[in-house]
Chains A and B, each alone.
Chain A
Amino acid sequence: MVKIEHLSKKYNDNIVLEDINLEIRKGDVVGIIGPSGTGKSTLLRCVNRLETPESGAVWLGEKKIEIARKNVKELRYLRQNTGMVFQRFHLFEKKTALENVMEGLVVVKKLKKEEAREIAQKELEKVGMAPWANHYPKHLSGGQQQRVALARALAMKPELLLLDEPTSALDPELVGEVLDVIKKVAEEGYTMLLVSHEMNFVRHVANRVIFLEKGHIVEDGTPAEVFEHPKNERTREFFRKMHMMNQPEYII
């Protein structure tokens, strides 16, 4: 089980997140949606402390990690046990796909090279990138890079996987291949926090959806509840706009 407690974050006077509390069961895929600038990405980045919040704690199983304080040991534990997939992939440019996946295993988990290579190869296979193991990021398309990035995060066997808009930097054509892999990963039982604008995807892959608005959770429920019967006025308005966009401009 993963728990986020009293997470607050502000930039100067601008409150981005206010007292967020979230309990995630093991194996849950939680989709976080909401308008731009409501702190969806900030929430993820605070959870593994790429941003330092004003207050808050994260529970990974039985272990509580205060994320507002700097504690090198706790921080390492937190980061070793959470995986992150970024919007812009952020693969290590000077390393091949395989080396990218091996990096955390060798440097952080201190595995032997051969052992790490074996795990990395398996992870690459899982995301369908095994033939490209020796390619460098610059040789790969966005979708391929993102799949390698997923493999890199998964190789560490994280208790919590954070996906920060994993498809928004991709060509529409390449979105599908990444979503397929994420779906596969979700089915494997990884606990995930997924920020995405792909509403249809969130609806299908998540078993719980959270609507974030101005730093507050205003809607929290199963995809069916949130997408079909939103309780909050703001959520309804958001979906109304989305539906408008999905509809054709005119019909002959």
Chain B
Amino acid sequence: MGKLFDFELVFTSIPELLQKLPITLELALLAMVLGLLLGLLMAVIKQKKIRVLTQIVNFLISLIRGTPVIVQLYIAFFGIPMFFKYLNQQFGTDFAVAEIPGFVYAVVALGLNQSAFCAEIIRSALQSVDEGQIEAAHALGMSFFQTLRRVILPEAFEVALPTLGNSLISMIKSTSLAFTCAVVEITAQGKIIGGRSYRYFEVYVSLAIIYWVITIVIEQGIRLIEKKIRIPEQVELVVVRTDSGGGDKSAGVLRQAKAVAARKEGT
């Protein structure tokens, strides 16, 4: 009878699991980028209340939010090839369906899943931007997209960032389901390692540690960005240069000093 819990294995299997970490991260990042772009598009459509498209977006969001990720992954993995095969049969096209790696299906499915949640986050962030500033931008002659890029998004980004961070964290964890699309990321790798020794439990503990560390890193990263984009509490006054002076900062300082002196004399 062996040990009930092989403590050592928890740590020794980590390096082997980490070999697949790039796949997990790539999957999460690509899906997140896809989700953000689609989410932004959907949010803008919803905010501008574009006819027909809004209804389609609403339907998609409802559909995506109403079904589990794992089901979506299966549907992508089996459904997309089926669709292309249908095209091949119907129109005699020659899409090499079998050559599409599972990774692509996983990115598409996770990205679409993410887009529904991002759309709602981004939409509420867009709505939080003061209408007056948008009017001010229009009054300057800026187009809708210029206003979006230069005024609305920078402000909305700050509002949305913490929630989008949460989304990214949950995305990292969703990638553990990518085995459904035959992608070997860290969780799938864990299952393989576990299968070798039947020490599944230890490997799952290692996986838990890895996911936890990734999450902590992301949290800290988000916090750092938040700090960086926040408007500083205090800003120094600009020393105004006088043209008659030496032309560098000292002239301005001198002028200020003189002004202070003059004020003192006056009193």
Contact = CB atoms under 8 A, between A and B. Distances in A.
A110 to B, nearest CB: 11
- B130, B133, B237: which has the most chain A beta carbons within 10 Å? B133
Interface residues of B, number: 27
A72 B138 CA distance: 12
B155 interface: yes
B141 A94 contact: no
A181 interface: no
Interface string B116-157: 000000000000001011011111111100100011001100
A86 B132 CA distance: 9
A76 B144 CA distance: 11
A136 B141 CA distance: 22
A90 B132 contact: yes
A240 B140 CA distance: 39
Nearest to A76: B141
B238 A79 contact: no
B130 A133 contact: no
Contacts, number: 84
Given A86-B132, A90-B136, A92-B133, A131 B143 contact: no
Contacts of B98: none
Interface in B146-181: 146, 150-151, 154-155, 158
Contacts of A152: 136, 140
A146 to B, nearest CB: 12
Q: Which of B135, B155, B236, B238 has the most C-beta atoms of chain A within 10 angstroms of its own C-beta?
A: B238
B96 interface: no
A94 B154 contact: yes
Contacts of A131: 237-240
B239 to A, nearest CB: 7
A139 interface: yes
A130 B135 contact: no
B52 interface: no
B231 interface: yes
Interface in A97-146: 103-104, 107-108, 125, 130-136, 138-139
Contacts of B261: none
A90 B141 contact: no
B139 A50 contact: yes
Interface in B85-105: none
A148 to B, nearest CB: 11
A48 interface: yes
Contact of A94 (B132, B136, B139, B158): B158
B136 A130 contact: no
Given A107-B150, A130-B238, A132-B238, A94 B155 contact: yes
Interface string B222-250: 00000000011011111110000000000
Contact of B155 (A83, A84, A93): A93
A48 B231 contact: no
Contacts of B237: 131-132, 135
A80 B138 CA distance: 9
A183 B138 CA distance: 26
A156 interface: yes
Contacts of A156: 140-141
A94 to B, nearest CB: 5
Interface of A: 48, 50, 72, 76, 79-80, 82-84, 86, 88, 90-94, 96, 103-104, 107-108, 125, 130-136, 138-139, 149, 152, 156
Which 6 residue pairs across A and B have the least CB separation, nearest first? A90-B132, A80-B141, A104-B140, A90-B136, A79-B141, A84-B139
Given A72-B143, A96-B235, A132-B238, 5 more contacts: A48-B139, A79-B140, A80-B141, A90-B135, A108-B142
29 contacts: A79-B138, A79-B140, A79-B141, A84-B139, A86-B132, A90-B130, A90-B132, A90-B135, A91-B133, A93-B133, A93-B155, A94-B154, A94-B231, A103-B137, A103-B142, A103-B150, A107-B140, A107-B142, A108-B140, A108-B142, A130-B240, A131-B240, A134-B235, A134-B236, A135-B235, A136-B231, A139-B234, A139-B235, A156-B140
